[in-house]
Chains A and B, each alone.
Chain A
Amino acid sequence: MRYVVGYAAHERGRDALNLGVALARATGAVLEVVVVLRAHDQYSSAPRDNFGILLEDQAKQWLTAAAELLPEDVEFELRMHRSVNAPAGLMEVAATSGAAAIVVGGSSETPWLRHGVGSAGGALLHRSRIPVILAPRGYEPAPLTEIACAVSPEPESRGLLEEAIATLNRTGLPVRLICLAEGGRGEAARAREAVEGMVAASAVEPEDPERLRVVVGHGRSVAEAVESVEWGEGTVLMAGSSRLARRGELFLSSTTAKILTRLPIPLVVVPRDYHPGRGGSADQPWTGELPIVGRS
């Protein structure tokens, strides 16, 4: 399995690289570190002076410097890819090399706590066909110890909830189903009841029910509810796509966008109807086929 890491020689690019390292250590994935070179528009009247070759030279230096940042225990490849823009380039590389997920950093220009969706991330989050993993600002590699999954107490969350349980079975990592309720304790209790009911009715059963927990955060807004939940350093949060998404594609839901404003940990957004390896799907799970039990 491999991850495509969208790299650029700045802090947000290094966040993506660090997150790629943490995930690769847990899953044994190969990192494909990609610098996307923007193709010169043929019709622009910029001078025809081989600036592209100079840019390639620079990109090689950036990639060589990125290789220096990567630790010994992670397998990686370096690639420059020329495309119309960064998100298109990353999706092309991912499609060609059969990557299981795309890892990107955020934007610096954002008032949010740790995350920010830049233009590349924004496009990926509304078009990718494979999971997109967002690194928070200033992310430092931490061993992966737990996977959280944001579910709502609505029936359409069932697919994602089942995928969370499948992830537990695949990886052996503890999984927390996180439900964020807007309102007081009463709301929270009702939400818990609903989610627990969905777990009981799930078509996928946890092999180790001990490792599956349901946590309900509540507050006056989604953002407050996010803050009421404890986020461990080794946790990543998995979220589904909006109902607006086309089948098999990503589309960031408004709730997930609200979660991002306060979330301190990496976020994995999976496409709509994401059930890799189940129900006839040939997709690769973003956690890989390897069980990662015991790596915590």
Chain B
Amino acid sequence: MGSSQDRPGGGSRVPIHTSTSPVVRKVGGSSVVIGVDSGAGAAPHSGPDAVPSAKGLSVGTIGLLGAAVIGVSTIAPAYTLSGALGPTVSVVGFHLPAIFLVGFIPMLLVALGYRELNNAMPDSGTTFTWVSKAFGPWIGWMGGWGLLAATILVLSNLAGIAVDFFYLLISQIAGNPGIAELARNVPVNVGTCLVFMAGACWISYRGLQETKRFQFSLVGFQLAVLIAFAVTGLVRAANGSAFDGQMPQLEWFNPAGIDSFSAFSAGVSLSVFIYWGWDTVLTMNEETKNPEKTPGRAAIVVIGVVVVLYLLVACGTLAFAGIGDGELGMTNASIQENIFAALATPVLGPLGVLMSIAVLMSSIASLQSTMISPARTMLAMGHYRALPASFSRIHPRFQTPSYATVASTVIAAVFYAVMRFISEDVLWDTIAALGLMVCYYYGLTALACAWYFRRDAFRSVRGFLARFAAPLLGGVLLLVFFVRTTIDSFDPSYGSGSSLFGIGLVFYLGAGMILLGLVVMLVISRRLPAFFREGIDLRSEPAPG
């Protein structure tokens, strides 16, 4: 007792003691005492048995299986495949499995750089902070904007997919196909979507989190349903009960068979989206039981599971439905943007309802966890005064970025509502634009990594590969795909074929988003000149990380 004899105001700071519950392993270290008066008063813990009240709430560290489950859950394979299969088939046709294999390469190269940056400069602002440190505040701000734009796009897409499956599920349960058509009614669709977003916002605002049991059952269920779907599709193709039966051929796996570089580039930018989030496993070092090995091994397990699953589902879907534009064909524009909604019942029969549950759960869980990402980036940008200070507000009770969470929800909701009224096929176009945006900000982050480590990257072979060569190559590839696809998206027939004033809608969503970012940045730089003058390094406050 009595360690705090020195008072505030007397020139000496009051020490703040930090401690961690015996049942919660603090990430990054044990109890420490912060302040001038170190040591005294930090009472030692008396072991877990001293606290009967908290028994049963133990939050341990994560093993290989747990880390792999988290990795798969961040990818949300059921949702991702449902949204991305159709648009990808429309650009690469039967070479879908090939593009899934190739698309992974730039993602892997960039993820290596991502991990190096995260180890060197852990920070809530991720891309924004790293790019600012490497290339200065202007490019850094645009990198942060790219991340925000991508997450806002994915939020609206997730919510849109969730709405489709919500009505499909009700119609399957009620046995009334008319209910599924409600999702096509724009006001009903937008209204339902806003309710979903508001719910996800509320959950994030209150700081509610998924639990171990929830994650394990969600991931297990998704994998089981997707495998059942793919295998049934293949069996139906073999026994002739498929819609447009095709037996898988080796040619499907040959990327060189894709007609044009445009198709290849568009395919890669879409497959970047399907792997998006996988790299999160690499950054969970301190939460794992064996920080040296678990994250790397988990990443390999996740990618193994996901690639095999994607190839299987790609083959199963192609084998069942073919690439025609007939009723259930994969290039039929009216089913393409949400392919499982149309194919679940024809493939799985009465068990199609399981697919609806899997995609609905996967997209709703993802909606909630994705909402956290832009909020935290905004929080970090607010913290560095690159956005107005209100964005850096943390709720005293829920301990979440309250203002930024509401702001990102409102932006995503308005965006979805406007898009839904402009375009029939909003889901398709947002997926296409999303791939572009991920290419843009991942590419920028990867280049920032190569530039940031350019001096000390040559000290070891491993450092050279992971810190310089891989991210440089990955970043350049992604930016090339970004530029190529952006140019192609100018064509009004690109993506779903929606256009505005003779220019493809995807172009507005990709290049337009970046132009909008430039305008917003100029406005903000007038109002908050300090950040743009000094950048991150010169701020007096230390980086939050």
Contacts and interface: CB of A to CB of B under 8 A. Distances in A.
Interface of A: 2, 8-10, 13, 30, 37-58, 60, 62-64, 67-68, 70, 72, 75-85, 87-89, 91-93, 95-97, 127-129
A80 B18 contact: yes
B284 A44 contact: no
Give the one of A75, A128, A129 with max B CB within 10 A. A75
A14 to B, nearest CB: 11
Contact of A81 (B5, B19, B284): B19
A128 B53 CA distance: 8
Main secondary structure of the interface of A (DSSP, over half): mixed
Nearest first, the 3 closest Cβ-Cβ pairs linking A and B are: A44-B209, A83-B21, A9-B396
A96 B54 CA distance: 13
6 contacts: A8-B397, A45-B369, A47-B369, A49-B283, A53-B124, A95-B46
Contacts of B54: 83-84, 88, 91-92
B115 to A, nearest CB: 11
A62 B545 CA distance: 18
B66 interface: yes
Contact of B2 (A75, A81, A85): A75
B4 to A, nearest CB: 5
Nearest to A123: B53
A41 B16 contact: no
B144 to A, nearest CB: 13
Contacts of A42: 59-62, 66, 212, 287
Of the four ranges (under 10, 10 to 19, 20 to 34, 35 or more), the interface on chain B belongs to 35 or more
A185 to B, nearest CB: 44
B372 interface: yes
Interface in B1-46: 1-5, 7-8, 13-24, 26-28, 34, 41, 43-46
B16 A80 contact: yes
A39 B59 contact: yes
Nearest to B396: A9
A223 to B, nearest CB: 28
A53 B27 CA distance: 10
Contact of B73 (A45, A47, A87): A45
Given A40-B209, A45-B365, A77-B3, 13 more contacts: A30-B4, A37-B399, A39-B59, A41-B59, A42-B66, A48-B283, A54-B124, A54-B544, A77-B17, A78-B16, A79-B17, A82-B20, A92-B22
Given A42-B60, A58-B394, A92-B22, A80 B372 contact: no
A260 B50 CA distance: 31
B66 A88 contact: no
B492 interface: no
B57 interface: yes
A196 to B, nearest CB: 38
Contacts of B23: 83-84
Interface of B: 1-5, 7-8, 13-24, 26-28, 34, 41, 43-46, 50-54, 57, 59-62, 66, 69-70, 73-74, 122-124, 126, 207, 209-212, 214-215, 280, 283-284, 287, 365-366, 369, 372-373, 376, 379-380, 383, 394, 396-397, 399, 544-545
B43 A97 contact: yes
Contacts of A30: 1-2, 4
Contacts of A52: 27
A2 B2 CA distance: 10
A40 B27 contact: yes
Contacts of A84: 21, 23-24, 54, 57, 59
Nearest to B27: A52
Contacts of A129: 52-53
Contacts of A70: 8
B220 to A, nearest CB: 14
B24 A47 contact: no
A10 B397 contact: yes
A228 B122 CA distance: 60
A160 to B, nearest CB: 23
B16 A60 contact: yes
Contacts of B365: 45
Nearest to A93: B19
A80 B124 CA distance: 20
Contact of B122 (A38, A45, A50, A79): A50
A68 to B, nearest CB: 6
A78 B17 contact: yes
A64 B4 CA distance: 13
Given A42-B61, A42-B62, A48 B544 contact: no
Contact of B544 (A2, A50, A75, A82): A50
A1 B456 CA distance: 55
A64 B397 CA distance: 17
Contacts of B50: 95-96
A50 B14 contact: no
B444 to A, nearest CB: 17
B98 to A, nearest CB: 29
A42 B281 CA distance: 12
A87 B53 CA distance: 9
Contacts of B207: 38
Contacts of A54: 124, 379-380, 383, 394, 544-545
Nearest to A98: B43
Contacts of A93: 19
Contact of A47 (B14, B214, B376): B376
Contacts of B59: 39, 41-42, 84
A79 B18 contact: yes
Given A53-B122, A77-B4, A60 B34 contact: yes
A71 to B, nearest CB: 10
Contacts of B28: 53
B51 A46 contact: no
Contacts of A38: 207, 399
A81 B21 contact: yes
A72 B14 CA distance: 13
Given A48-B283, A75-B4, A39 B21 contact: yes
B445 to A, nearest CB: 13
A62 to B, nearest CB: 7
Contacts of A50: 122-124, 544-545
A128 B397 CA distance: 21
B53 A91 contact: yes
A48 B24 contact: no
B284 A88 contact: no
B215 A56 contact: no
A129 B52 CA distance: 10
A41 B284 CA distance: 12
Contacts of B209: 40-41, 43-44, 46
B155 to A, nearest CB: 14
A234 to B, nearest CB: 26
Contacts of A43: 62, 66, 69-70, 209-212, 214-215
Contacts of B399: 37-38, 55
Give the one of A9, A45, A56 with max B CB within 10 A. A45
B24 A79 contact: no
Given A48-B280, A78-B16, A39 B24 contact: yes
Contacts of B20: 81-83
Nearest to A78: B16
Nearest to B69: A43
A82 B19 contact: yes
Contact of A80 (B17, B214, B215, B376): B17
